[in-house]
Amino acid sequence: MNLLTDNPELYEHQFPDPEHVAARFVHDVVTRFGGGRDLLDIGCGTGRDAGWLSRNGYRVAGVDSSENMIAHMREHHPAVDVALADMRSFDLDRRFDVMTCLDSAMLYCHTNADLTVFLERCRAHLLPGGLFVAEMRNGAFFLGNTELLDGVRTRSVTWRGTEYTSNTELWIDHAAQLLRRRRTWEWAERTEPLVQRSAWRLLFPQELRHLLDLAGFEVLALFDSPGPRTDQPWTADAPLSGELSGDRLHVVARLRRDGCQ
C-alpha cells in the first residue's frame, strides 16, 4: 500500500498546484528553447500537468507505473494518451518533440545502470533536436546543508472528513548516493501506523551534465532557481541562476542530431 499513489485525489490534496505552476513552467521553457508541441510526460502521476498542457496547445502522452494514477488520468484527462509502464523500459513506438520528467521522477533511477537505460529510452522517443526537460532535487545542495535532514517533519491533511498525519524522516545513504525517506502515516480508521520507505538518487550538476552528454544530449540550461517548486516564484522571463547550490535542479537538454540511434 502507498497511501498517496493509491489515492490520486489525496495526492493532489496533499500537494496542491491550483495555478498549474509546474505545467506553465514546462510551457515557458519549451517556448524559450524552441520546442515543439508533441510532448511525453514521464512519471505523469495524476495527470494534472499533462492535462493542462493538453488543454493549451500540446498533443500529450504520459507514462506512469501506478495503475491507480493511470486510471485517474483516463477519467479526468481523457485527451492524454497514457500508458502503464516502467520508466526504464517503456516503448511507445513513436517519437516526440519534447519529453518532461518532473518532481524528481528521474531520481527513482537509483543506479547508474537505471539512469543509462532511462536516458536510452528518452533518446529513442525523442525526435532529433527534441527537448528533454527535467526537474529534481539537487545533490549539491546537501554538500553544505542539513536542514532537510534535521529531525522529523510532521504534516496533517484532511481529506473526505478524515485527518491524515505523516511523520517524515530523511537521511543520506552515502555509499549508494541516495536520499532515503521513512514516512509514517496515521489516521483514525487505522489501528497501526502505515510505514512507507522510498529513496531518490542524488545527482550532482556536473554528473547530470555528463550522463546527458553520454546519452547524446547537449545541455542548454542547468539551473537551481527559479522553478515550479523553488521559494523564488517562477515567471516566463525569469533569469536562470547558475549557482546550482539550491535544493532543486532543473535541466533543459537537446538531443543532438548526430547522437541519435
State pLDDT tens for residues 61-93.
Answer: 999 999 999 999 999 999 999 999 999 999 999
Q: Which long-range contacts (CB under 8 A, 24 or more apart) does 31-34 make?
A: 31/236, 32/236, 33/131, 33/220, 33/221, 33/252, 33/254
Q: What is the DSSP letter of 123?
A: H
Residue 261 predicted with pLDDT over 70? no
Q: Quick one: pLDDT band at residue 221, thresholds 50, 70, 90?
A: very high
**pTM of the predicted protein model:** 0.96
Determine whether domain 142-200 maps to CATH 2.20.25.
yes
Residues 115-126: pLDDT tens digits? 999 999 999 999
Residue 259: the pLDDT is 52
Residue 205 predicted with pLDDT over 60? yes
Domain extents in the chain: 8-139+203-255, 142-200
Q: Mention the CATH class of domain 8-139+203-255.
A: alpha beta
Residue 136: the pLDDT is 98
Is residue 122 within 8 Å of residue 215, measured between CB atoms?
A: yes
The mean pLDDT value for 18-26 works out to 98
Number of helices (H), then strands (E), in the chain:
7, 11
Phi, then psi, of 95 in degrees rounded to 5: -125, 155
Residue 208 predicted with pLDDT over 70? yes
- CA dist 247 and 222 (Å) reads 13
Residue 258: the pLDDT is 77
Residues 129-180: pLDDT tens digits? 999 999 999 999 999 899 999 999 999 999 999 999 999 999 999 999 999 9
